[in-house]
Amino acid sequence: GESVGLHLPTLSVQEGDNSIINCAYSNSASDYFIWYKQESGKGPQFIIDIRSNMDKRQGQRVTVLLNKTVKHLSLQIAATQPGDSAVYFCAENKGGADGLTFGKGTHLIIQP
Amino acid sequence: NAGVTQTPKFQVLKTGQSMTLQCAQDMNHEYMSWYRQDPGMGLRLIHYSVGAGITDQGEVPNGYNVSRSTTEDFPLRLLSAAPSQTSVYFCASSYSYRVNTEAFFGQGTRLTVV
């Protein structure tokens, strides 16, 4: 089964509010995690990454939190904008050559 | 800098036909991979390559072949198309599997098998 999953398939937030998208992973050997954004009809785009030796990493309007104790990853988007509407995927790298394992995705909907 | 380029963007095949999905990257990346994306299933790894001349199977390789004769190109071949292969296919590349870095994705090929 999926080693990476998401708690909610759809998240609806008001424009200007903060969004939190969650992800659970099951492989304790995973050492690298990435959040991707996928807009309709496009390929996934890198948002932010975090290594297993970190708990938090911040980018422009985005923050990723990693809780290795409970194998949980979250993406926080500050002051969401209409352009943030997309499907968000978390992905983990277990360190081998067989690439990233993706979760099923969360569809973020921004309400005006 | 084009990044990862996939062709075609759309394709309709009849059951039993064969075709090749093209993927090229201009970033001199060692690692390339193919994923398929189905509703509710996320992205699943089909095949990957850690460098020219080296390929290996991913999670869902049946019905697909790949080759990596150059660093730039990583074509995916459907040997005998089946309706179960209707999906959106993404090619991705990254610097090296030995270094944790992001994967860059192409725009995808939407394939329908009838």
Q: Do B20 and B13 touch, CB atoms closer than 8 A?
A: no
Question: Which one of B42, B58, B106 has the shortest CB-CB distance to A99?
Answer: B58
Q: Do B34 and B48 touch, CB atoms closer than 8 A?
A: yes
Q: Which tokens go with A97?
A: 């050559």
Identify the pLDDT of residue A3.
43
- Determine the residue type at B95: Y
Selected for mutation to probe chain A from B37, B59, B102 (highest A CB count within 10 Å) is B102
Selected for mutation to probe chain A from B100, B101, B110 (highest A CB count within 10 Å) is B100
> What's the whole-number mean pLDDT along residues B17-29?
97
How many residue contacts between A and B have a Cβ separation below 8 Å?
61
Q: What is the DSSP letter of A31?
A: -
Helix (H, G, I), strand (E, B) or coil at B70: coil
Question: Tens digit of pLDDT for each residue in A62-91?
Answer: 999 999 999 999 999 999 999 999 999 999
Helix (H), strand (E) counts: chain B: 0, 11
Distances (CA, A) of A78 to A27, A50, A81, A91, A98: 29, 18, 9, 21, 33
Selected for mutation to probe chain A from B6, B35, B37, B43 (highest A CB count within 10 Å) is B43
Apex B41 CA angle, A49 and A95, nearest 5 = 40
Question: Which one of A4, A43, A99 has the shortest CB-CB distance to B45?
Answer: A99
User: Is the model's pLDDT at A5 over the cut of 60?
Assistant: no
User: Is the model's pLDDT at B112 over the cut of 60?
Assistant: yes
Question: Tens digit of pLDDT for each residue in A15-55?
Answer: 999 999 999 987 888 999 999 999 999 999 999 999 999 99
Whether chain A has a CB inside 8 Å of the CB on B39: the answer is no
CA A72 to CA A110: how far, in whole Å?
24
Whether chain B has a CB inside 8 Å of the CB on A37: the answer is no
Whether chain A has a CB inside 8 Å of the CB on B95: the answer is no
Identify the pLDDT of residue A90.
94
Residue A106: which residues within 8 A CB-CB, separation 6 or more? Answer: A6, A8, A9, A10, A11, A21, A22, A87, A88, A89
Edge-to-edge strand list for the sheet holding B4-7: B4-7, B19-25, B76-78, B64-66
Whether chain B has a CB inside 8 Å of the CB on A88: the answer is no
Highest mean pLDDT among A16-30, A54-68, A90-104, B95-109: A54-68
